[in-house]
C-alpha cells in the first residue's frame, strides 16, 4: 500500500527520499534539496474558502501521483497538508506515515473545509459528513 507523509515546509525542503510531492503554499515556489520524482504545486491560503479550481487542480495531482508514495506539505504541516493526507488515507487507500521527523502525528487539526471539498468534488460523498465531524 502506498504511503503519504505530511510535513511543515521546513521539513519537506530537507526530506531526503525522492517522492511525488504536493507543495501547498500561499503564493510561493518552494525549492527542495532532493531531486524528487515529481512536484505538483497549488497555491491557496489556509482558510475556510478555497477556490474550486484550486481543489480540482489538487485532485488532478492526486490522481496523477496515485499509487506512488506522496509527500505533501504546507507552511506548518498541520492543516492543509493534513487534510490532503487524511483524504488520501480514507478515499485512496494510502497509509499515513506519522513517524517521520517533523510530522505532528495526527490529522486532528486538518482543514475540515478542504477535506470536505476534496470529498465532494471527487464524488466520494459516502460518509463524508461523518469524516468531517469525527
Q: Which CATH class is domain 3-133?
A: alpha beta
Take residue 129 and report the three cell numbers written for it: 459528513
pTM for the structure as a whole: 0.91
Q: What's the per-residue H, E or C state across the chain?
A: CCEEEEEEHHHHHHCCCCCEEEEEECCCCCCCCCCCCEEEEEECCCCCCCCHHHHHHHHHHHHHHCCCCEEEEECCCCCHHHHHHHHHHHHHCCEECCCCCCCCCCCCCCCHHHHHHHHHHHCCCCCHHHHHHC
Q: Which residue has the higher pLDDT, 125 or 7?
A: 7
Where along the chain do its domains lie?
A: 3-133
Measured between alpha carbons, how far is 52 from 55 in angstroms, rounded to an integer? 5
Please give the pLDDT value at position 81.
Answer: 98
Measured between alpha carbons, how far is 52 from 64 in angstroms, rounded to an integer? 18
Phi, psi angles (nearest 5°) of residue 25: -135, 165
Please give the pLDDT value at position 133.
Answer: 39
Cα torsion angle, 99, 100, 102, 105, sign:
negative
Residues 23 and 42: beta-carbon distance below 8 Å = yes
Q: What is the per-residue pLDDT across 74-107, written as a single tens digit (0 to 9) for each?
A: 999 999 999 999 999 999 999 999 999 999 999 9
Measured between alpha carbons, how far is 22 from 67 in angstroms, rounded to an integer? 14
Amino acid at each position: 500500500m502506498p504511503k503519504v507523509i505530511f510535513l511543515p515546509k521546513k521539513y519537506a525542503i530537507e526530506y531526503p527520499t525522492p517522492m511525488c510531492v504536493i507543495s501547498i503554499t500561499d503564493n510561493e515556489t518552494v525549492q527542495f534539496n532532493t531531486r524528487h520524482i515529481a512536484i505538483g504545486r497549488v497555491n491557496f491560503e489556509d482558510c475556510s474558502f478555497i477556490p474550486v479550481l484550486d481543489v480540482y487542480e489538487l485532485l488532478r495531482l492526486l490522481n496523477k501521483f496515485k499509487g506512488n508514495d506522496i509527500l505533501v506539505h504546507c507552511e506548518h504541516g498541520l492543516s492543509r497538508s493534513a487534510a490532503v493526507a487524511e483524504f488520501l488515507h480514507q478515499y485512496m487507500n494510502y497509509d499515513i506515515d506519522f513517524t517521520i521527523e517533523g510530522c505532528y502525528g495526527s490529522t486532528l487539526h486538518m482543514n475540515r473545509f478542504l477535506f470536505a471539498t476534496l470529498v465532494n468534488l471527487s464524488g466520494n460523498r459516502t460518509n463524508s459528513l461523518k469524516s468531517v465531524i469525527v
